Structure 1
Amino acid sequence: MNPAAAAKLGHWHARLDAWQGGDTLLLRSPAQAWCDRRAAGRLAVLGYHGVEDPSTFEAHLDLLQRRFVPVSLERVEEAAHGGWALPARSVLVTFDDGDHSVHTHALPLLAARGIPAVCFVIPGLVGTDAPFWWDEAEHLVRHSGTTHRVPPNQPDITVHTLKLLSERERQLALAELRATATAPCSRQRQLTTAQLRELEKNGVVVGNHTLTHPCLDRCDDDQVRREVLEAHERLTELTGRPPTSFAYPNGNVDERAHRFLTQAGYRSGFLYNHRLADPGACHPLRIDRLVVSSRTSVDRLETILSGLRPALFRAGRRAARAVARASQPLSSKS
């Protein structure tokens, strides 16, 4: 499948999965009850980004306190390395990118309940007002930005397609979008060093999410080394301690990154594959995570935590790929 078709497929499936109309029915179904019992022995690692809806996020935390056992990164890493098993219905809360709302909205709600969490930070942005590159790209496309490196498309599909380019091509494409757009992207408030230390002081561990957030499998060897190890050094300086946990940007695993993470003493690495985890049975640098948003309804969150919604997601993705393959011209299948 070519990059444009793959991006459209991802966009279509994301829109389908965003529909929450059937979640109440799923929650009351026999399948939910069966999945919920089966999931009791697995770890649910929730992968948030920002906290766009604090009231719904607060309802999420209340659910976790009521029906699950929030655990710390340290306990998960211990289990991943053959130590004490985690209690039934364990949940680890994580955030990717280091959005400022993790400090302003998530931290007070987590601290009030004593729920530990992990925030995977992009240290190249700490202390700046630079926007996340994917937000900037979407803005530039909406304001007539163009690049010959990807086909013209809807802004969110363009961002998906940019992630399929090599890192060098992605940077060149972003430069072209900046040069042709009618309006630059507004600046974005990023976390400061003081805020990182406040997160850590109050139970939110800071982890490594690469220096600038490229897709590592699209990088050359030097870029992978720099993104992992320079980020590690920068975070050590910013927080006063070396990070032990890593989250792969976009969930894209890379064996070269594994080597650098092992070299730097990392004890855990997290995917973004919408699966329940079993830390004692997987590689410590490949722990599964569930995809969730602060806008996710509580009903849907329960079906995610049981594994039912992720199973339906994977089935839908397989069906969409089968349809896409069947619709390709014969010449492209040969």
Structure 2
Amino acid sequence: MYHAVGHRPAEAAYGLSVAPDAFAEQLRLLGERGFTPLTTAQLGESWRSGGRRPLPRRPVLITFDDGYEGVHRHALPVLAEHGFASTLFVSTGWLRGAHDEGGALDTMLDWDQVRELAAAGTEIGGHTHTHPQMDQLDDDRLRFETVRCRDLVADELGTPPVSFAYPYGYSSRRVRQAVRAAGFAQSLAVGNALALPRQGPYALRRVTVRRTTSIEEFERLVEGRSVALNFAKDRALTKGYAVVRRTRRARTLIRRARG
């Protein structure tokens, strides 16, 4: 899971960014180790096929969240050099130009750049319209965020997106049901673990790549070594914050009921 790719990203996006040289080195390692990048849609189709569409020997997903301009400027040439597939999950209200509602953390892609990425083989998936914490939304807003995102991607690219990623990785059964109802066939969380079929198509996990991820650490992650140990602190924080979010949501519902 990548976010921004750039030399000097904005402070708000810095920790989850990667430098262009580091990104190139990481993709070079994937090629040298014999990995075959897939789109999220291809992974979902394979797992639903019951073996009729087998995965390559060493499959990997390369995903980008939000829609930062550096994905086009810096990541696309490297992907093209290796012939690698990827998936870009866009928050449609953050992209520059039509439908822009502001709030983005750094310079974002415009729709022409999104179309160029799609033409180059990048799957374009949904990431809501305004990048909210989805598990804190009421039902109407939850539907708006998923359907508005879906419809804008379909209008701009000519085909509806089939893959989705939850902003911040936050979801719940209600959120997953809303994503499914909007027509998405699979969705990615974070979880900082390898994706497995038993997680179900709407809770597939990913591993975070950060500015501080060394090439040695990246190698261990893609080889599936020390993943749990590497993200032990992240998982503890995630579990604790999950309790906070559920409590916050419950209080909101109580306030509305008292009206």
Q: TM-score range by the shorter chain?
A: 0.7 to 0.9
Partner of 2:21: 55
Distance change (3 Å), C-alpha of 1:309 and 1:258:
same
Structure 1 CA distance for aligned equivalents of residues 48 and 42 of structure 2: 10
Partner of 1:270: 188
Q: Deviations over 1:249-300 (max 9, x none)?
A: 000013233223222321210011100012x333111111111136522111
Partner of 1:104: 73
- 2:223 aligned with 1:306, yes or no? yes
Q: Deviations over 1:218-267 (max 9, x none)?
A: 11111111111111111111111100000000000132332232223212
Structure 1 CA distance for aligned equivalents of residues 236 and 44 of structure 2: 35
Unaligned runs of 5+ in 2: 7-18, 239-259
Structure 2 CA distance for aligned equivalents of residues 98 and 318 of structure 1: 25
Written as runs of structure 1 = structure 2, the 5 A alignment for 1:315-330 is: 315-316=232-233
Distance change (3 Å), C-alpha of 1:119 and 1:294:
farther
TM-score, L = length of structure 2: 0.78
Q: Quick check: 260-269 or 80-89, which moved more?
A: 80-89
Written as runs of structure 1 = structure 2, the 5 A alignment for 1:217-296 is: 217-278=135-196, 280-293=197-210, 296=213
Q: Quick check: 287-296 or 214-223, which moved more?
A: 287-296
Written as runs of structure 1 = structure 2, the 5 A alignment for 1:1-334 is: 47-52=1-6, 53-67=19-33, 68-83=35-50, 84-128=53-97, 132-133=103-104, 135=105, 188-278=106-196, 280-293=197-210, 296-316=213-233
Q: Deviations over 1:18-66 (max 9, x none)?
A: xxxxxxxxxxxxxxxxxxxxxxxxxxxxx00011311110011111111
AA paired with 1:283? G
State which structure, 1 or 2, has the greater radius of gyration over its C-alpha atoms.
Answer: 1
Distance change (3 Å), C-alpha of 1:115 and 1:317:
closer
Unaligned runs of 5+ in 1: 1-46, 136-187, 322-334
Deviation at 1:318, TM superposition (A): 6.9
Structure 2 CA distance for aligned equivalents of residues 225 and 130 of structure 1: 18
Which 4+ stretches in 1 moved above 3 angstroms? Answer: 128-133, 313-321
CA RMSD of aligned residues (A): 2.3
TM-score, L = length of structure 1: 0.61
Structure 1 CA distance for aligned equivalents of residues 102 and 184 of structure 2: 28
Distance change (3 Å), C-alpha of 1:264 and 1:317:
closer
Deviation at 1:317, TM superposition (A): 5.3
Q: Quick check: 258-267 or 308-317, which moved more?
A: 308-317
More RCO (CA 8 Å, sep 6+): 1
Matched residue count: 222
8 Å CA contact 2:193–2:206 kept in 1: the answer is yes
AA paired with 1:305? V
Distance change (3 Å), C-alpha of 1:124 and 1:293:
same
Structure 1 CA distance for aligned equivalents of residues 41 and 145 of structure 2: 24
8 Å CA contact 1:211–1:231 kept in 2: the answer is yes
Structure 2 CA distance for aligned equivalents of residues 203 and 116 of structure 1: 6
More helix, by proportion: 1
Identity %: 36
